[in-house]
Amino acid sequence: MTDVLIDGKSLTLDDVESIARPEHDRALVYTDVAQKASRRSRDLKLDLIATGQPIYGVTTGFGDSVTNQIAPGKAAELQRHLVTYHLNGTGPLAPAEVVRATLLIRANCLARGNSGVQPDVIHLLLDFLRHDVLPQVPERGSVGASGDLVPLCYVANALFGEGEVTYRGETRDTADVLRELGLRPVVPEAKDGLGLINGTSFSAGFAVLATQDAARIAEVTDVATALASEALLGNRGHFDAFIHEQRPHPGQLASAARLTELLDGSGLSLPHDQVVDANDPLDGKGHGRLTRSIQDRYSLRCAPHVAGVLRDTVAWVDRWLETEINASTDNPLFDAESGRVHSGGNFYAGHVVQAMDSLKVAVASVADLLDRQLQLLVDAKFNNGLTENLIPRTDGDAWEKGLHHGFKGMQLACSALTAEALKHAGPATVHSRSTEAHNQDKVSMAPIAARDARRIVELTREVAAIQLLAACQALDLRGLDDMAPRTRAVHTLIRSHVPFVDADRRMDGDIRKVVALITSGALVAAAHGHAPVAA
């Protein structure tokens, strides 16, 4: 694997995920050019401090306290106070993968060389990642401008050798871990604390991982839709390229093409002309009734229009986030070329929150789509001859008749998961609140939106797992011989982990197993005809 360059310019979303969810040993390289830029920025900061001029957050107080100027000799101590008074986060601790992403993004943003922090700050952030020393960061407490102050303070506190970290599965004092590893804590100087906390890296960490996962949800949605189309004896002509080329949104085109590929060779989901031919001709009669509908319900017919929106949303969100993770997102910024310091608002996470609010809606809409497909599968009024709730077929007056309820409970659970996803899809952007003595009188709410996006992705994975289990059950009842090769491979994979439901039993474990297949990439790999991936 190639090195991950820390230079403030070339970090990718895949880089972030590879470090946050380490499967490969990738070296982190703080480039010589970036180190030089960081040193020049820091030197300028020190020169400007020596002039005695007020510099925001360096020789002045913070936020509304900007009118309090302090002597240069107090500047370093001010940074410790900044970190200490923000250590008031609440809620659950951020997952380890989010903390890793946060550390990486913060290091990269500072490495751009405009923040005035000493290079030791960046070096130690990277050392934390190399040794997997993870500050314990509460999720709640940030409004996303002036940056993610509260959560990032827990990162800064750890770099200063304070607080607690997770190391090798244990919670320990940071100072003890650093001593054991032969690492020295940062001795903060002017701007170091502010440079660490006055940025969007915590929100961006959540956002990058949620977006990477959402892209996979789009793929899974096409697979699940293909299985449902076969189970319900659908019309795969709905995915014909001609239709979608007349409304050529890239995501819609991609989803329709994928469904066409998945259903190629199916004897269950038929091309439009074969669906038409399956019905008896009128033969001169004035009226007749089709035995096989030539149009499927919207949750099948319009699936590319729903999954396509998610695909296209991910595409532009990726671009926005790649800009964000390679940006100077703190304040003030030091321009070594002109020798000037600039006060601004790059800590405002407006692009992150807009991206996450949009992603939330697109993913939740997919959850709703899959939930509607499930409803068609389990309801005997709509499932084209399958049993009610997909119970096993029983003959005559067998003892089992009337006892089993199949996927009735699964449909209820899926409805609850979908409702929760839809509930969290409301925009966080519009809930800006004036805070900090009306200095922060317009804030982004990006961390709330990004956390919600992560939750909606998790819920939608569970919805997809239930739909896939139901579709496999339905296909077992329908008969597997006429399935398309690619969908048959998916069915085989799921059945290698979860058996047919031949009697009422608990199915929470089944859901977890299919979620694992989705998360690992094994399910999509099977649909592509690749070898199974261990879940």
Other beta carbons less than 10 A from residue 282's beta carbon: 9
| 14 contacts: CB under 8 Å, gap ≥ 6 | 212
Query: Distances from the Cα of 251 to the Cαs of 179, 218, 234, 258, 306, in angstroms?
Result: 51, 9, 22, 10, 9
Is 30 among the catalytic positions? Answer: no
Considering 56, 154, 167, 348, which one is annotated as catalytic? 56
Q: Please give the angle made by the CA atoms of 484, 490 and 493, to the nearest 5 degrees.
A: 135
Peptide bond into 22 cis (omega under 30): no
Q: How far apart are the C-alpha atoms of 131 and 168, rounded to whole Å?
A: 9
3-class DSSP string for 402-452: CCCCCCHHHHHHHHHHHHHHHHCCCCCHHHCCCECCCCECCCCCHHHHHHH
3-class DSSP string for 280-319: CCCCCCCCCCCCCCCCCCHHHHCHHHHHHHHHHHHHHHHH
For 226, the token pair is 């293909």
For 165, the token pair is 């970290």
> Given the structure tokens 């069915």, which residue do they identify?
491
Other beta carbons less than 10 A from residue 276's beta carbon: 15
Query: Distances from the Cα of 228 to the Cαs of 382, 485, 506, 515, in angstroms?
Result: 12, 15, 23, 18
For 303, the token pair is 């699936």
Q: Count CA atoms within 13 Å of residue 431 on its CB side.
A: 12
Nearest to 521 by CA among 219, 267, 275, 312: 219
Which run of H or of E encompasses 41? helix 32-50
Catalytic residues: 56
